[in-house]
């Protein structure tokens, strides 16, 4: 067997001396091509450790226009203040090149191929890779990536982290005769309701949690790449690892084998009616709305337009800053943890979820009466949230009670306040 070069030994000796790993596993890594989709909290540690381990080629793909923000820095550790505003994939690629110049690092141009990973480009994107890492944070991407990998017979290492929890699994068969690894769709044949799906942006995340999961994704990718040469290593096929930071516990759940009726990865001829033969021809929007057959009726709103109450008024944040005074009641409908971080002076915090409580609505009414003192302008109730989405729901809900003379939603929420009124107000 030919001996490794001097630089290879000096750089990777600490893992090559492992009896279970050795020179052959290192050679497997040096020949491997890996695609990391997502350059955030999961993608950063995964890419860093794969490059450090000696992967031959590493391709990075993130949403076009997704740039580093200061709110990313507590968990996306490849970035710092100097690269705030820089394209994430480009910043991560440069970090990894500096970490290991021997790794061929490429940033896939998401602008050329579409907005990040999508049904139109997914199969083309995953072709030719030994393993793909799903480091995204949305349901659409998970199904699209899994379906593409299933069709192209590329193993998929999928990680997720939110709040203080994380999970990890290896999906999609490599095409080997005895490989019964399920795809993501086998395990989750029905898409979760949109209101049940959170993200780090909306639900928050403890910084080290995605770091742990992303690092474990790198380990799983290494095991998949090295195969039998990594003696005794067992990838998380047909298993799901669950991590809970609250008690620092790890649990492993067994997953069922590949579903013989799966429309993405099964070759069972009895399920060909809705089979996915090309990812770019499947209606993911209909599927995620709960209509796997593509019936447009499923897209109809749950509440008929005629049953809705009158639309509340909307104003710009700048306009609100001009007309508000001490008697103005502003209800901030963000969760209390958000309110404690930052809020406008005099605002009353009633989270959106609390508006189903008649008692909390009465609290708003009593505070409204206390502040108005018969003044016509003060009889207007103003609603604000983080970015102007939840405030619309809250304004409609409060308007429909009929208890308030006028309900006004502030467009763009506190983010718009920071842009239009006070640039020192934190955006997060």
Angle between helix axes 43-53 and 88-99 (nearest 10 degrees) is: 30
Confirm or deny that 265 is annotated as ligand binding: yes
The catalytically annotated residue of 28, 59, 103, 385 is 385
Is 20 one of the catalytic residues?
no
Confirm or deny that 338 is annotated as ligand binding: no
Confirm or deny that 71 is annotated as ligand binding: yes
Question: Strand, helix or coil at 232?
Answer: coil
Confirm or deny that 183 is annotated as ligand binding: yes
Q: Which among 97, 80, 78 has a CA at the least distance from the CA of 38?
A: 78
Confirm or deny that 137 is annotated as ligand binding: yes
CA end-to-end distance (rounded Å), the chain: 55
Confirm or deny that 186 is annotated as ligand binding: yes
DSSP character for 131?
E
Confirm or deny that 360 is annotated as ligand binding: no
Confirm or deny that 62 is annotated as ligand binding: yes
Question: Strand, helix or coil at 335?
Answer: coil
Instruction: Supply 170's token pair.
Output: 């290896």
CA distance 308 to 94: 52
CA distance 181 to 154: 11
CA distance 414 to 408: 15
CA distance 169 to 157: 6
> Residues 173, 177, 178, CA angle at the centre, nearest 5°?
80
State the Rg of the chain over Cα.
Answer: 25
Confirm or deny that 239 is annotated as ligand binding: no
Instruction: Supply 405's token pair.
Output: 């003379």
The catalytically annotated residue of 103, 118, 200, 226 is 200
Confirm or deny that 88 is annotated as ligand binding: yes
Confirm or deny that 149 is annotated as ligand binding: no
Confirm or deny that 427 is annotated as ligand binding: no
Beta carbons of 157 and 179 less than 8 angstroms apart: no
Residue partners of 300: CB distance under 8 A and separation at least 6: none
Beta-strand runs (E) in 221-309: 239-244, 249-254
Beta carbons of 292 and 274 less than 8 angstroms apart: yes
Is 118 one of the catalytic residues?
no
Annotated active-site positions, please? Answer: 200, 385
Residue set of the binding site for Zn(2+): 183, 186, 262, 265
């Amino acid at each position: 067997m030919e001996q490794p070069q001097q630089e290879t030994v000096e750089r990777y000796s600490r893992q090559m001396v492992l009896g279970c790993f050795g020179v052959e596993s290192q050679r497997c890594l040096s020949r491997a091509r890996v695609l990391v989709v997502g350059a955030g909290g999961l993608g950063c540690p995964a890419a860093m450790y794969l490059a450090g381990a000696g992967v031959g080629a590493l391709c990075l793909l993130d949403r076009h226009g997704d740039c580093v923000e200061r709110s990313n820095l507590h968990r996306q550790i490849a970035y710092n203040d100097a690269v705030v505003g820089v394209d994430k994939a480009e910043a991560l690629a440069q970090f990894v090149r500096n970490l290991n110049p021997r790794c061929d690092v490429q940033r896939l141009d998401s602008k050329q191929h579409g907005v990040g990973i999508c049904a139109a480009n997914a199969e083309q994107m995953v072709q030719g890779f030994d393993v793909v890492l799903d480091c995204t944070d949305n349901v659409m991407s998970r199904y699209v990536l899994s379906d593409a990998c299933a069709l192209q017979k590329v193993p998929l290492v999928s990680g997720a982290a939110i709040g203080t929890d994380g999970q990890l699994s290896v999906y999609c068969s490599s095409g080997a005769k005895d490989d019964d690894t399920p795809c993501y769709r086998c395990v989750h044949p029905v898409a979760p309701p949109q209101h049940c799906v959170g993200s780090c942006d909306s639900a928050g995340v403890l910084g080290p949690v995605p770091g742990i999961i992303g690092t474990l994704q790198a380990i799983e990718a290494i095991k998949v790449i090295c195969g039998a040469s990594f003696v005794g290593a067992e990838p998380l096929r047909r298993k799901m690892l669950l991590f809970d930071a609250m008690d620092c516990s790890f649990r492993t759940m067994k997953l069922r084998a590949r579903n013989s009726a799966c429309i993405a990865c099964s070759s069972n001829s009895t399920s060909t009616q809705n089979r996915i033969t090309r990812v770019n021809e499947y209606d993911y929007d209909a599927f995620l709305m709960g209509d796997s057959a593509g019936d447009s009726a499923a897209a109809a709103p749950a509440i008929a337009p005629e049953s809705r109450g009158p639309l509340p008024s909307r104003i710009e944040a700048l306009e609100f800053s001009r007309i508000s005074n001490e008697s103005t009641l502003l209800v901030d409908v963000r969760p209390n943890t958000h309110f404690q971080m930052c809020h406008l002076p005099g605002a009353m915090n009633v989270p959106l979820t609390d508006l189903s409580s008649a008692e909390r609505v009465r609290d708003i009414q009593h505070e409204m009466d206390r502040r108005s003192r018969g003044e016509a302008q003060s009889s207007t109730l103003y609603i604000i949230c983080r970015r102007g989405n939840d405030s619309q729901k809250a304004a409609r809900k409060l308007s429909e009670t009929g208890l308030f003379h006028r309900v006004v939603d502030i467009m763009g929420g506190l983010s718009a306040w920071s842009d239009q009124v006070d640039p020192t107000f934190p955006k997060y």
